[in-house]
Structure 1
Amino acid sequence: ANDVKFQPGDTIGVIPNNPDREVEEILKCLKCLDKADTVVSISVKAGTLKKKACVPLYIPTKTTLRHIFKQCVDIRAPPKKIFLRILSVYTGDPLEKRRLEELCSKEGSDNYSKTIVEARTTLLDLLITFPSCCPPVERILEHLPRLQARPYSIASSPLKNDSEFHIVYSLLKFPLFKPEIGLRYGICTGWLDSATTPIQLNKSGTDLLLEGISNLSLHDNTIKIPVYLRKNMGFTLPTDPTLPLILIGPGTGVAPYIGFLQHRAIEKQTRTEIDFGEIWLFFGCRYKDRDFLYRSEFEKFVDDGILTRLFLSFSRDSGKQDIPKYVQ
């Protein structure tokens, strides 16, 4: 990251891939698995009546179906009603067809909100639930949005190390309609977790993690995570270091404040003539023993006088408080 000039408060955009298992299942349901790796040309159908029809910029005009479903389109996006209408056209079973028509009808709006939007139903969920639905792959691609980058706050300061930056994420898990496929994880967090498996922290401590990181190099082709810097001009340390700060961050939301505190700690060492303002941090999570991110770092910031006050709230620790308390 030598050419990335970041500051505390900035974020990075992580460009993920869709899960291989889900991509495989979608291609199988669409009866395209046998030609998933064949290079195809993508173009607008001749004679189309749609105004200003064009191939979206995020879909290459010459590529493979596997590449498109893995890296270009968001296969987890809740299908819109117009998409359900298209799916119903290519559904052979009368009962399944009727169900899809109900979901996309005006009368079925409440059911659509509950069954599709709130339940985070995906294209794969629908193809599994309605096995007689088998639309042409081109109709699917017309309605899948772009796979967007996910933003993560930078949890480090360039004053400590300007050649690397840190992020923190929480691995989200969701049930799948088809249990044999396994658990469904957040697209980006699941991909990050899978991509970094060789150097992940094991239960016995940090030694293996540090060893794994030290063995990596810029020429290592085993782990590649595309990212780009997102400057955040409205979320930075004040230019006047004498101003007091109140920081509030539940869970992984505390990540940018680690960068703030690291920055302030080094500034205090190098700018001894300044009377720095107090910093109060409010941090909350569910369980003290399981979710207390950066515990040792916070304690050191307090001991070193960087943090003036540290307020903690653990909402799910049974027996320690009668009513759950939250920091925001």
Structure 2
Amino acid sequence: SRTNPFRAEVLENINLNGRGSNKETRHIELSLEGSGLTYEPGDSLGVYPENDPELVELLLKEMNWDPEEIVTLNKQGDVRPLKEALISHYEITVLTKPLLEQAAQLSGSDELRELLAPGNEGNVKAYLEGRDLLDLVRDYGPFSVSAQEFVSILRKMPARLYSIASSLSANPDEVHVTIGAVRYDAHGRERKGVCSILCAERLQPGDTLPVYVQHNQNFKLPNDPETPIIMVGPGTGVAPFRSFMQEREETGAEGKAWMFFGDQHFVTDFLYQTEWQNWIKDGVLTKMDVAFSRDTEEKV
């Protein structure tokens, strides 16, 4: 469940993009053995990630905090060393207006209060865009409060939801996800997606990830296996349709299936290419149309 996630062991972590691609898309296979978790094609996997330890180090240094100081996380009285709490418990990469308002009460910064003054909504919105907690403490510090007082204004790290890319009947005791690595520059610093870069840079086979299954009643294969389906999944949007095809292959469904897929380059970015070609060859997939936007003069 969301409140009590299962720690799933990583079996595989593969980059699906070819050498020279502008993208990095990870195919991750996790073991559900002993979890009791079940899912259907169309469901999502909730993943609780960890923050980048480098970002946490910069934050600790900026605030001059002792990484080993014990802080209380919640009303239940759970405690952790500060560094561990910042890595695994608190959201530190997203700023919100309520967070700025609480920070303004802890900071001696008149500039932060001015930013939050009525009529400045546009400036607040612009400030929140692409900035994180490190920016906030650098821009509006010093915060002469205890680490405990400061972390008390932070939100708990939310789970990330990813479409499941496998069928349980085709892969008993396993779940697969397809995750595109998010990296970009903003405000003079390189930014990284919390969960996607954990998966791309730090997650090895044998490691574990806390996960739960989010069922989705509104996104399912038709009950009648004869019903034809049309699937549109550009980029990582291909993930749930891989689970649809695995399921239909496993159950011997007879309905026609037509897939639309698009990405940047045919050679490097055709995700799960051999699987799609095999499904076409075996008749599980009736038809596939693809578009690769950077392979032609005109964007398609």
TM-score tier after normalising by the smaller chain length = 0.7 to 0.9
Task: Tell me if the contact between 1:155 and 1:258 (Cα under 8 Å) persists in the aligned partners.
Answer: yes
Offset of residue 56 of structure 1: 4.5
Structure 1: where are the runs of 5+ without partners? 43-54, 200-221, 269-273
Partner of 1:279: 257
1:259-298 CA-to-partner distances (Å, cap 9, x unmatched) read 1101111222xxxxx7x12111111222223322111111
d(CA) in 2 for partners of 1:102 and 1:121? 18
**Residue of structure 2 aligned with 1:187, choices 194, 219, 222:** 194
Q: Secondary structure at the match of 2:58?
A: helix
d(CA) in 2 for partners of 1:318 and 1:109? 42
User: Percent identity among equivalent residues?
Assistant: 30
**Residue of structure 1 aligned with 2:68, choices 37, 52, 56:** 37
Partner of 1:234: 218
Offset of residue 68 of structure 1: 1.9
Q: Secondary structure at the match of 2:209?
A: coil
d(CA) in 2 for partners of 1:15 and 1:27? 22
Partner of 1:298: 276
d(CA) in 1 for partners of 2:296 and 2:52? 36
From the superposition, tell whether residues 156 and 85 of structure 1 become closer, same or farther in structure 2 (CA, over 3 Å): closer
Where does 1:13-162 land on structure 2 (aligned, <5 Å)?
A: 13-32=46-65, 34=66, 36-41=67-72, 55-56=74-75, 60-80=77-97, 82-88=98-104, 91=107, 97-116=109-128, 119-162=129-172
Alignment of 1:7 with 2:40, yes or no, is yes
Offset of residue 227 of structure 1: 1.1
Partner of 1:48: none
Report the structure, 1 or 2, having the larger strand content.
Answer: 2
- Give the AA of the match of 2:247: H
From the superposition, tell whether residues 10 and 89 of structure 1 become closer, same or farther in structure 2 (CA, over 3 Å): closer
Partner of 1:218: none
From the superposition, tell whether residues 239 and 89 of structure 1 become closer, same or farther in structure 2 (CA, over 3 Å): closer
d(CA) in 1 for partners of 2:144 and 2:191? 23
- Give the AA of the match of 2:217: M
**Residue of structure 1 aligned with 2:181, choices 134, 157, 171:** 171
d(CA) in 2 for partners of 1:40 and 1:124? 19
Task: Tell me if the contact between 1:128 and 1:177 (Cα under 8 Å) persists in the aligned partners.
Answer: no
1:238-272 CA-to-partner distances (Å, cap 9, x unmatched) read 1101111011111111101101101111222xxxx
From the superposition, tell whether residues 238 and 123 of structure 1 become closer, same or farther in structure 2 (CA, over 3 Å): same
Q: Secondary structure at the match of 2:119?
A: coil
d(CA) in 2 for partners of 1:10 and 1:85? 37
Offset of residue 315 of structure 1: 2.4
Offset of residue 163 of structure 1: 2.0
Partner of 2:27: none
Task: Tell me if the contact between 1:75 and 1:144 (Cα under 8 Å) persists in the aligned partners.
Answer: yes
d(CA) in 2 for partners of 1:193 and 1:133? 34
Partner of 1:264: 248
Offset of residue 86 of structure 1: 4.3
Offset of residue 124 of structure 1: 0.8
Aligned length: 267
- Kindly name which structure, 1 or 2, has the bigger radius of gyration based on alpha carbons: 1
- Give the AA of the match of 2:62: C
d(CA) in 1 for partners of 2:186 and 2:141? 16
d(CA) in 2 for partners of 1:242 and 1:225? 37
Q: Could you tell me the TM-score, scaled by structure 2's length? A: 0.80
Alignment of 1:255 with 2:213, yes or no, is no
Q: Secondary structure at the match of 2:288?
A: strand
Partner of 2:228: 244
Q: Could you tell me the TM-score, scaled by structure 1's length? A: 0.74
Question: Please, what is the CA RMSD of the aligned residues?
Answer: 2.3
Task: Tell me if the contact between 1:40 and 1:62 (Cα under 8 Å) persists in the aligned partners.
Answer: yes
Bigger relative CO (Cα 8 Å, ≥ 6 apart) = 2
- Give the AA of the match of 1:225: L
Report the structure, 1 or 2, having the larger helix content.
Answer: 1
1:1-53 CA-to-partner distances (Å, cap 9, x unmatched) read 23332221222111111111111222222221x3x2233456xxxxxxxxxxx
Structure 2: where are the runs of 5+ without partners? 1-31
- Give the AA of the match of 1:72: H
d(CA) in 2 for partners of 1:76 and 1:190? 13
From the superposition, tell whether residues 89 and 11 of structure 1 become closer, same or farther in structure 2 (CA, over 3 Å): closer
